[in-house]
Structure 1
Amino acid sequence: MAANVYECMFILDSSKVAGNLDAADKQIRATLEKHNAEVLVGRLWDERKFAYPIKKQKKGIYYLTYFSSEGKNLVPIENDFSLNETILRLMILKIHPKLVETMLKLATGEHAAALHNMQEDATGDDGVPVDLGVNDGPGQRRGRRHD
């Protein structure tokens, strides 16, 4: 059976990781390698506040990993990660074979973090925010009614 490439987004407990992201990275890699998965890329994505508490935590560290494995190994991998108290949540997605090369290139490139923060930091030479066209919808929202 051929190995597939998967993308896994972890939400880590920021109070338990507390600046020691290397230890969390080693734990994640060790668990994946224990189940015969090959880690292709693993990197910090972002640290954010949650919209609602997850396991009584208000913020967490998002960590992105790409790995190749056989499909039969996914359930044991998810079970092992569910026992890890550092991991609040995780989501594993199968990457389409046509997109694997592009996704890995973006994940390993230095510009990956810049692409992620592009919308937040987009300002022109005059300091005015630049419209990136990301949130263009059918039109502007209507304001409040004053009755």
Structure 2
Amino acid sequence: MTGWTARVWADRDHYELVRARAEPATDPVAVPAFPGEPVEFEIALRGEEIRIGRRGVPDEDPSASVADDDEVPGIDLTGPPRDPGVSHLHAVLLAVGPDRWVVLDAGSTNGTSVNYAAERLEPGTAVPLGSGDSIHVGAWTTITVERR
């Protein structure tokens, strides 16, 4: 059986690109250090829409609890380690047809890019993905999609 998976990982190369492009005084993702013990996980892509983001823990109080009615994203980047550049709803993967996926930025604060591109995606614009493509969000998070 073939299907698509997403490998989520802390990507040192993406992190270094973000740091090189950042203006430390104005860019909130310029400050954090790369996680000492990064977590990697894989998720099967199922359904028609997969939201990428983090649960509703308020930025002002990281110790606050998550609301019971808050929707947990399909690819939950709440952490640990918590990537400070990931928005509550950062991006969305959409199934188009029986075996194709696209990604779109959901109006995130820090943007989304594909395959280490310097340009961020225009919010709401669908970008086709191929097996092996990488989606970059936040300060260090990369999501590599693969058809198996």
TM (norm. structure 1) is: 0.28
TM (norm. structure 2) is: 0.27
Compare CA radii of gyration and give the structure with the larger one: 1
Give the structure with the higher percent helix: 1
